[in-house]
A and B are shown apart, each in its own frame.
Chain A
Amino acid sequence: MADLASAARVRHRPELSQDIINKIQPVTLAGQRIMPVPEVLAPLFPWGGLQRGTSLGVAGHGAWTLSLALMAEALGEEGWLAVVGVPDLGLAAAADLGVRLDRVLLVETPSLDQWPTVVAALLEAVDVVAVAPSARIGPRDARRLQARAREQESMLLHLDGGRTWPNGLDLTLSTEVDRWEGLGEGHGHLTGRRVSISAAGRRGAGGGSSVEVWLPGPDGRLAAAPKEADVLEFRPLRESVNRESPVSEKADSQEVVGQSV
C-alpha cells in the first residue's frame, strides 16, 4: 500500500529540489497579476495575457478597435477603464465590442502640467488608463507614472503607440490592415476587416509573433481568422482596385488622411 501511495504522489507532483522551488516561487503569483485576453490574441502576449503594472501600446489602422476588444476581455464585468484626453473615441463601437459603458470614465484633456497628476490619480483607482498625449511626456514623469502603475497593479494603454512616451513600452501591438470586406464600388457597406497583428516589446517580449484576426468580425467583435481557403462568410464582393499612391505621397506613409487610426 505504501508503495502505491508514494507512486501516486510521484505521478501527480514530480519532485523538485528545494532550491529550484525557492528560485521559481514568485512573491505574488503571476496568475493574479494577469488580465485575460481574447484567446486568439494570447500568442502575442509573453505571459498569455496583459500583465498588470506594465505598459501597452497599439499602433496602426484598427489599433483602437484592437485595444477596445482587448479591454472588453481584460476588464470583464467589474474592471474600470479611464480614457484621458481622447474625446474622439467611439463609445458605441466600444460597447459593441463588449466594453461595459458603466465602467468607463472619460476625462477631458488636462493641461500639460496637470497631465501627469491626473493620470497618476487615475492609476490608483481604475484598472486601465488609456492615453494619447498631445505632446511629449518628460522622462521623469514617465518613470514616475510607470512606477505608480506597477505599485497599483494598473496599466497604461498608449492609444498612439507610445509616440509621445520617452521610454520604450513593455509591449507594442501593431496592426496591419489586410483588407476590408463588404464595400464594393458604389454598393454594400463595411462588414469586417481582416487584420494581422504583430507584437514587439522589451527584452524580446512578443518575439515577433503575429496573428491574423477579423477585427471586427461578422458579429461586430473580434474573431479568429480561419485560413483563407476556409473563408466562406467573407468573400470580397468585387476585386478591390489596387492602385499605387500618387507619387508625391509615397515617401510619407506615417501620416494619413484619417490621422492615427
Chain B
Amino acid sequence: MCVVWCPDWPVVAWGVPLDEPAIVVVGNRVVASSPAARAEGVALGQRRREAQGRCPDVAVLERDIDREARLFEPVAVALEGITPRVEIAGPGLVGFPTLGPSKFFGGDHDLSLKVVEDVAPVLAGRGHIRVGIADGVFAARLAARSTAARTGPIVVTTGESAEFLSGVAITALEQPELTGVLARLGLTTLGAFAALNPADVVGRFGAEGQLAHRLARGEDEHPPDLRRPAPDMAVTWMFEPAAEQIDRCAFAAKALADELHAMLSSDGLACVRVAIEAETDAGEEHVRLWRHEGALSAAALAERARWQLDAWLGSIARRALITSAATSSDEMENATSGSGIRRLTLVPDEVVPAVGRQLGFWGGRAERADDVTRVVARIQGLMGPEAVQVPERRGGRGPAEQIVLIPAAAVDLGEERIATAAEWVSEPWPGRMPKPEPVQVRFDPLPIELMDDARRPVTVSGRGELSASPALVEGSVPSGRTKQRWITGWAGPWPAEERWWDPVSVRRRARMQVTLNDGSAHLLVLEEGAWSIEATY
C-alpha cells in the first residue's frame, strides 16, 4: 500500500505559502497551522487568541473542508496516471494498492519516486508531499508521517511492517481513550501492545480494541476474508435535467447515502470504502474511491459524495485549466466537457460486518431524532422539500443576518451540529447592535413615519446626525388604519454601511432604538430616506 500525504493541507488549500504564519480554526480552536506558525509556538487545539498571542501576525482562516476536498482532486487525478485504484481517505491523504504499479514501475522505491515526480507539479510548490509504502494502510500512513519522510519517500520492505511499527508510540493509533488506558498499563509502544494475546485484547477492549490490535501488529484494519457486496447494493440517482449546482447534488447525495446505509445495515453490514460514480451529460464517467477506517455512517457517506461532486463540478467548469495542468493524461483531453452531472451512483466497494454504533446510554436521543426526522419527511411530502428548515449561525451585523435557515433535509438531525453552537461565530462583528437581540425580526420591515414634536419628518444628515429629536411614530397596521405612538426613549442613529467596496451591492443604512408609550421597544432602520421597523424587542 502506498500513502501520499500532503501535510498542512487545510492551510495549503487556502493558498497560503507555508513559510507564512497561518492557522485554520474551527469554533475558535486551531485545527491546522503552517510550519511557520508552529515555529512561533502555535499548537493544535490552542484557542485562537492564544495562537494570536504567540504569533501576532498570524493569518486566521476559517476551515473550509469543501474547498480542501475540491482542491485535492487534482492530486488524485495525477495519481490516476499511475493506478486506477486511488482511494481518498480525506482531503490531504490518499492511498493506492502497490502490487500492480510496483511491478510496472520496477519496484517500490522507483514507484515512490514516480509518485513524487507526478504529484509535485500539481502542487506547484504550494505544499509538500510525503510518500510512504508499507504492507498495510496504517503502516504506510505512519511511514509517510515519519520525520524521515521529509527528505524522501519511505519504503518499508514487505513483511517488515510489524517491526517498523513496534517502536512507534502508542498514541499513533489516534484513539485517545484507548491509548490513555494502554499507556497507564505501561504499554507505550505499538510493539508492546502488539505482543499481547489477541483474545485478551478483545475480552478487555471489545471490537475497538481488536481493530487497534490488528493495526499495531501491522495487519489491515479488517481481516482479508471480507464479504464483497452484492452488485445490487449500488444506489443510483438520475438528474433530470443534469445538475450543475452543488445544492441539487447535495440533496441527491444525502438521499442516496441514507438509502445505501439502510440497505447495508438491514444486512448487518457497514461500508468502509465507497465508490462514488458520476456521469456527466456529455457521457463521461468519473469514479473515485473514498475510504474510512471505522465505518462510513450515512452522514459521512453523504458528506464524501458531496465533496467529490463539488470537486467534479468545479473541474467541469474549469476544464481548460485542468487539461493544461494534467499534462500527460490523454484521458483528460478526450473528456469533452459536459456542463452538469446526469447520474450519481454510490457503490459500497468494501463492506464489513457492522459492529454497531454506540447509542447514548439511555438510547433516547437517537430514537427521538429518528422520530423527528420521520415527521420532517412527512411534512416535506405535504408542503415541499424546503418547508422545514433549521437554523445555523452566521456572522453579521443586522439581526436578520446572524442566523441563516437551511433545509432540514440537508442536515442529519441526530448528529451534533456545530454550526448551531455559540462558538461557531468567533469574529466580533464591528457595527453590530448591542445585546439583547430582538425577539421579532421582520421578514418585511414595516414602513413608518418618524416625526419630531412639530410633526415634521425626522431625517439623518450625511454625517449621521438627526434633523431633530424624534417624538412620534406613525404607521399603518394590517387592518389599514393609521396608528401613532409617542416615543419615550431613543438612541442612535448608528450608521451601518455594508459592502461599501462594491458600488452595486453597497447598502447605506442607519439604525435607531426607540421605546414607545405602549411599552414596546423597536429597532428602526432608515434606508434610502424611508424609516421602517426592522425588529421588535
> CA–CA, A240 to B488, complex, Å?
6
Residue pair A90, B515 in contact (C-beta under 8 Å): no
> CA–CA, A107 to B489, complex, Å?
36
At the interface, yes or no: A180 with Cβ under 8 Å from chain B? Answer: yes
Q: Which A residues from 165 to 190 make CB contacts under 8 A with B?
A: 176-180, 183-190
What residues of chain A lie closer than 8 Å to B159, measured between beta carbons? none
Residue pair A100, B364 in contact (C-beta under 8 Å): no
Q: How far is the CB of A65 from chain B (nearest CB, A)?
A: 5
Q: Contacting B378 at CB < 8 Å: which of A93, A121, A178, A191?
A: A121
At the interface, yes or no: A249 with Cβ under 8 Å from chain B? Answer: yes
Q: Contacting A118 at CB < 8 Å: which of B382, B399, B436?
A: B382
Residue pair A255, B390 in contact (C-beta under 8 Å): no
Q: Contacting B436 at CB < 8 Å: which of A93, A244, A256?
A: A93
User: How many pairs of A and B residues are in contact by the CB < 8 Å rule?
Assistant: 220
At the interface, yes or no: B440 with Cβ under 8 Å from chain A? Answer: yes
> CA–CA, A191 to B490, complex, Å?
13
Scan B358-396; emit 1 where CB is below 8 A from any A CB, else 0: 000000110010011011101100110011111111000
> CA–CA, A177 to B522, complex, Å?
14
* Closest residue on chain A to residue B483 by CB atoms: A257
Question: Which of A30-38, A40-48, A122-130, A197-205 is found at the contact surface with chain B?
Answer: A122-130
Knowing A102-B420, A106-B388, A183-B491 are in contact, say whether A121-B379 is a contact too (CB < 8 A). yes
At the interface, yes or no: B504 with Cβ under 8 Å from chain A? Answer: no
What residues of chain B lie closer than 8 Å to A78, measured between beta carbons? 364-365, 368
> CA–CA, A89 to B387, complex, Å?
16
Residue pair B371, A90 in contact (C-beta under 8 Å): no
What residues of chain A lie closer than 8 Å to B421, measured between beta carbons? 102
Residue pair B537, A92 in contact (C-beta under 8 Å): no
Q: How far is the CB of A251 from chain B (nearest CB, A)?
A: 11
Residue pair A125, B372 in contact (C-beta under 8 Å): yes
What residues of chain A lie closer than 8 Å to B536, measured between beta carbons? 258, 261
Residue pair B439, A89 in contact (C-beta under 8 Å): yes
Knowing A93-B436, A220-B435 are in contact, say whether A117-B515 is a contact too (CB < 8 A). no
What residues of chain A lie closer than 8 Å to B387, measured between beta carbons? 107-108, 110
Knowing A90-B438, A105-B376, A105-B388 are in contact, say whether A256-B518 is a contact too (CB < 8 A). yes
Residue pair A88, B379 in contact (C-beta under 8 Å): no
Residue pair B490, A96 in contact (C-beta under 8 Å): no
The tally of residues in A whose CB lies under 8 Å from a CB in B reads: 70
At the interface, yes or no: B516 with Cβ under 8 Å from chain A? Answer: yes
Q: Contacting A257 at CB < 8 Å: which of B371, B475, B490?
A: B475
Q: How far is the CB of B460 from chain A (nearest CB, A)?
A: 13
Knowing A114-B383, A189-B434, A255-B479 are in contact, say whether A245-B391 is a contact too (CB < 8 A). no
Residue pair A105, B408 in contact (C-beta under 8 Å): yes
What residues of chain B lie closer than 8 Å to A184, measured between beta carbons? 489, 491
> CA–CA, A259 to B479, complex, Å?
11
Q: How far is the CB of B437 from chain A (nearest CB, A)?
A: 4
> CA–CA, A91 to B391, complex, Å?
8
* Closest residue on chain A to residue B516 by CB atoms: A257
Q: How far is the CB of A163 from chain B (nearest CB, A)?
A: 13
Residue pair A121, B375 in contact (C-beta under 8 Å): yes
Residue pair A93, B443 in contact (C-beta under 8 Å): no
Residue pair A186, B520 in contact (C-beta under 8 Å): no
Residue pair A117, B382 in contact (C-beta under 8 Å): yes
Scan A95-120; emit 1 where CB is below 8 A from any B CB, else 0: 11000111011111010001001100
At the interface, yes or no: A61 with Cβ under 8 Å from chain B? Answer: yes
Knowing A183-B491, A189-B513 are in contact, say whether A101-B374 is a contact too (CB < 8 A). no
Q: How far is the CB of B232 from chain A (nearest CB, A)?
A: 33
At the interface, yes or no: B61 with Cβ under 8 Å from chain A? Answer: no
What residues of chain B lie closer than 8 Å to A257, measured between beta carbons? 446, 448, 473, 475, 477, 483-485, 516, 518, 520, 522, 533
Residue pair B521, A193 in contact (C-beta under 8 Å): yes
> CA–CA, A176 to B518, complex, Å?
10
> CA–CA, A256 to B416, complex, Å?
41
Scan A66-98; emit 1 where CB is below 8 A from any B CB, else 0: 001000000000101000000111111111100
Knowing A61-B519, A122-B375 are in contact, say whether A188-B436 is a contact too (CB < 8 A). no
Q: Which A residues from 223 to 250 make CB contacts under 8 A with B?
A: 240-246, 248-249
Q: Contacting A108 at CB < 8 Å: which of B368, B386, B487, B519?
A: B386
What residues of chain B lie closer than 8 Å to A176, measured between beta carbons? 519
At the interface, yes or no: B405 with Cβ under 8 Å from chain A? Answer: yes
Residue pair B517, A102 in contact (C-beta under 8 Å): no
> CA–CA, A232 to B103, complex, Å?
82
Residue pair A258, B522 in contact (C-beta under 8 Å): yes
What residues of chain B lie closer than 8 Å to A122, measured between beta carbons? 375, 379
Q: Contacting B443 at CB < 8 Å: which of A87, A96, A100?
A: A87
> CA–CA, A259 to B391, complex, Å?
24
Residue of B365, B403, B440, B479 with most partner-chain A CB within 10 A: B440
Knowing A118-B382, A122-B375 are in contact, say whether A240-B515 is a contact too (CB < 8 A). yes
Residue pair B420, A64 in contact (C-beta under 8 Å): no
What residues of chain B lie closer than 8 Å to A17, measured between beta carbons? none
What residues of chain A lie closer than 8 Å to B39, measured between beta carbons? none
Q: How far is the CB of B374 from chain A (nearest CB, A)?
A: 7
Q: Contacting A216 at CB < 8 Å: which of B436, B448, B514?
A: B436
What residues of chain A lie closer than 8 Å to B438, measured between beta carbons? 90, 93
> CA–CA, A57 to B421, complex, Å?
29
Residue pair A89, B435 in contact (C-beta under 8 Å): no
* Closest residue on chain A to residue B418 by CB atoms: A102
What residues of chain A lie closer than 8 Å to B364, measured between beta carbons? 78
Q: How far is the CB of B246 from chain A (nearest CB, A)?
A: 23
Q: Which A residues from 132 to 160 make CB contacts under 8 A with B?
A: none
What residues of chain A lie closer than 8 Å to B399, measured between beta carbons? 90, 92
At the interface, yes or no: B417 with Cβ under 8 Å from chain A? Answer: yes
Q: Contacting B402 at CB < 8 Å: which of A92, A124, A179, A245?
A: A92
What residues of chain B lie closer than 8 Å to A220, measured between beta carbons? 435-437
What residues of chain A lie closer than 8 Å to B517, measured between beta carbons? 242-245
Knowing A121-B379, A185-B490, A259-B478 are in contact, say whether A190-B439 is a contact too (CB < 8 A). no
At the interface, yes or no: A6 with Cβ under 8 Å from chain B? Answer: no
What residues of chain A lie closer than 8 Å to B408, measured between beta carbons? 105
Binding site for A on B (CB under 8 A): 364-365, 368, 371-372, 374-376, 378-379, 382-383, 386-393, 399, 402-403, 405, 408, 416-417, 420-422, 433-443, 446, 448, 466, 469, 472-473, 475, 477-479, 483-491, 513-522, 533, 535-537
A-B contacts, 12 listed (Cβ < 8 Å): A101-B390, A118-B379, A121-B378, A176-B519, A183-B514, A190-B491, A190-B513, A193-B537, A240-B489, A244-B486, A257-B516, A257-B522
- 8 tightest Cβ-Cβ pairs between the two chains A and B: A177-B519, A183-B489, A101-B420, A93-B437, A125-B375, A102-B420, A92-B437, A125-B371
Q: 7 more A-B contacts (CB under 8 A) besides A108-B386, A183-B513, A261-B536?
A: A90-B437, A90-B439, A101-B403, A190-B436, A190-B537, A257-B448, A257-B485
